[in-house]
Structure 1
Amino acid sequence: MTETNAPSTQGVPVQRESAHDHAVAGRTAGSSLVTDRGRTTIAENVVAKIAGVAAREISGVHDFGTGAARAFGAFKGRLGAENGVTRGIAVEVGERQAAVDIDLVVDYGVAIPGLAAAVRDNVITVVGRMCGLEVSEVNVAVDDVYLPSQDESSGTTGGARVQ
């Protein structure tokens, strides 16, 4: 409950919030991470994994990360390491908000502005639902375009042009 009978400064009442008001305000804003009964913290790598999976759900997203990050990931994969779901995802997490940066590789032929908007919307929705965080921004950087012919040139499909 907000007090308006509190001391005033230059004739304007000073409003003070109780712990209960603070908790209720947090719940109405979509966050129950900080309440009068305790605090819940969510690690950045947790939010990054959730954001990565949410972004992968969008058709037209081929991969994540810059060229160097993808090459390093491929090298680690050959050594038996797990393909990191957080590659190309960077997050900052506060008490109630998160900001997400995503480096994408898109499939050729996909409208990039529409894809970026779909990724942004899905990440905001999923992170908000799962973590109770308000996502203040999702920055999408398209670093490459995947061409189906790239598989052919690497020898994974079809035969070579010259033998």
Structure 2
Amino acid sequence: MSTPTPTAPKATTPSPVSPAAGSALASTQGKTTIADGVVAKVAGLAAREVNGVYGFGGTAARAFGAITERIPGSRSSASQGVSVEVGERQAAVDLTIVVEYGVAIAELSRAIRRNVIGAVEQMTGLEVTEVNVDVVDLHLPDEEDDAPAPAPARVR
């Protein structure tokens, strides 16, 4: 006579739902959509973390961003110089950056891609198909910022 094999107790937590259409953002219980702006912010913040990235966007965009940061109540945009295309399961990222002088651009681009892909995929569940890096300027150590200086106070 053999002894019965004990059965595992039933789990009290719900079992994972199999994703519909192969996406972590869709299941039989509902669908999650992520706005382009959210993906752009995640990508922009991840790219900013990489040493050697001085700034984002062209000269005019950087100057405009510097001005809007000084306006009370405004928030600087973490997605300046970042554009994305977001589908149901995938995203593509385009970055326009300014590089610090002396940094190896090819290595910097690889580090940016690694960081952006990791952050976007981890935070959103989207597969990043490409990260294009457009280097538009080189920041020299002795250069002043391209942003205009704040206007002097008129009232003292």
TM range (shorter): 0.7 to 0.9
1:100 paired residue number: 93
Residues 74-107 of structure 1 show CA distances to partners (whole Å, capped at 9, x for unaligned) of: 2222334322111000011110000100000111
Q: With the length of structure 2 as denominator, give the TM-score of the two structures.
A: 0.76
Q: Determine which of 129, 140, 152 is the counterpart of 1:147.
A: 140
1:19-58 to structure 2, matched below 5 A, reads 23=19, 26=22, 31-58=23-50
Give the deviation of 1:122 after TM superposition: 0.8
Structure 1 runs, 4 residues or longer, greater than 4 Å off: none
Which residue identity does 2:48 align to in structure 1?
Answer: R
Aligned-partner Cα distance in 1 for 2:136–2:30: 41
For residues 36-63 of structure 1, what are the alpha-carbon distances to aligned partners after superposition, in whole Å with 9 as ceiling and x for unaligned?
2211001111111100111011110111
**Separation in 1, partners of 2:84, 2:50:** 19
Q: How does 1:37-116 map to 2 (within 5 A)?
A: 37-80=29-72, 81-116=74-109
Q: Which runs of 5+ in 1 are unaligned?
A: 1-19, 157-163
Structure 1's 153 and 128: CA in aligned 2 closer, same or farther, altered over 3 A?
Answer: closer
Structure 1 residue 152, shift from structure 2 partner: 8.9
1:138 and 2:150 equivalent?
A: no
Kept after mapping to 1: 8 A contact 2:44/2:79:
yes
Kindly provide the amino acid, as one letter, of the partner of residue 65 in structure 2: G
Give 1:153 shift. 10
Alignment-derived partner of residue 8 in structure 2: none
What number of residue pairs does the alignment pair up? 131
Structure 2 residue matching 1:113: 3-state secondary structure: helix
Output the aligned Cα RMSD: 2.3
SS in 2 for 1:149: coil
Q: Secondary structure at 1:141's aligned position in 2?
A: strand
Alpha-carbon distance between aligned partners in 2 of 1:153 and 1:72, rounded to the nearest angstrom:
10
Give the counterpart letter for 1:97 in structure 2: Q
SS in 2 for 1:116: helix
1:123 aligns with 2:123: no
